[in-house]
Structure 1
Amino acid sequence: MKEFIKKHSLLLPVAIYGIIYMSWFALLEEKVQEPVHIIHSVIDDFIPFVEVFVVPYFLWFAFVAFFGIYFYFKDREDFKKLAINLAFGMTAFLIISTLFPNGHELRLEVFPRDNIFTDMVKHLYTIDTPTNILPSIHVYNTLCIYHGVKNSALFRNKKVWRGATSLLAWSIIASTVFLKQHSIIDVFLAFALEIPMYMLLYKGVSLKFRSIKEKSQMETM
Structure 2
Amino acid sequence: MQLKSRLVALFQKYKHAWVFLYFFIYMPWFTYLERREGSMKHYLIHSPLDDYIPFIEYFIVPYLLWFIFMAVMVLYFFFTNKKEFYDLFLFLALGMTIFLIISTFYPNGLELRPTTFARDNIFVDMVKALYASDTPTNVLPSIHVFNSVAIAIAAKRSKSLKKHPVWRFSCYIIAGLIVLSTMFLKQHSVTDVVAAFVLIGILYQVIYASQDRRHAATQKRPIIT
The 5 Å alignment of 1:105-184 reads: 105-184=111-190
Match of 2:81 in 1: 75
Q: CA RMSD in A?
A: 1.6
Q: Does residue 66 of the first structure (1) align with residue 66 of the second (2)?
A: no
Instruction: Tell me the alpha carbon deviations over residues 123-172 of structure 1, each in whole angstroms, 9 at most, x when there is no partner.
Output: 11111110111110000100110100000101113221121111110000
C-alpha distance in 1 between matches for 2:104 and 2:66: 24
Q: Does residue 21 of the first structure (1) align with residue 22 of the second (2)?
A: no
Match of 1:11 in 2: 17
Unaligned runs of 5+ in 2: 1-6
Alignment partner of 1:28: what SS? helix
State the shift of 1:199 in Å.
2.7
Instruction: Tell me the alpha carbon deviations over residues 61-108 of structure 1, each in whole angstroms, 9 at most, x when there is no partner.
Output: 010110100101100000000110000110011101110111000000
Change (3 A) 1:192 1:63: same
Match of 2:198 in 1: 192
- TM-score, normalization: structure 1? 0.93
State the shift of 1:9 in Å.
2.6
C-alpha distance in 1 between matches for 2:67 and 2:9: 31
Unaligned runs of 5+ in 1: none
State the shift of 1:210 in Å.
2.2
C-alpha distance in 2 between matches for 1:55 and 1:102: 26
Name the amino acid aligned to 1:186: D
C-alpha distance in 2 between matches for 1:185 and 1:172: 16
C-alpha distance in 2 between matches for 1:35 and 1:126: 21
State the shift of 1:35 in Å.
6.0
State the shift of 1:177 in Å.
0.3
Match of 1:219 in 2: 223
Give the total of aligned pairs: 218
State the shift of 1:4 in Å.
4.3
Match of 2:99 in 1: 93
Name the amino acid aligned to 2:174: L
C-alpha distance in 2 between matches for 1:162 and 1:209: 24
Change (3 A) 1:178 1:133: same
C-alpha distance in 2 between matches for 1:26 and 1:12: 22
C-alpha distance in 1 between matches for 2:53 and 2:41: 21
Match of 2:4 in 1: none
Query: Are the counterparts in 2 of residues 151 and 202 from structure 1 also a CA contact under 8 Å?
Result: no
Name the amino acid aligned to 2:29: W
State the shift of 1:196 in Å.
1.7
Q: Which of 200, 206, 221 is 2:212 aligned to? A: 206
Alignment partner of 1:156: what SS? helix
C-alpha distance in 2 between matches for 1:209 and 1:190: 27
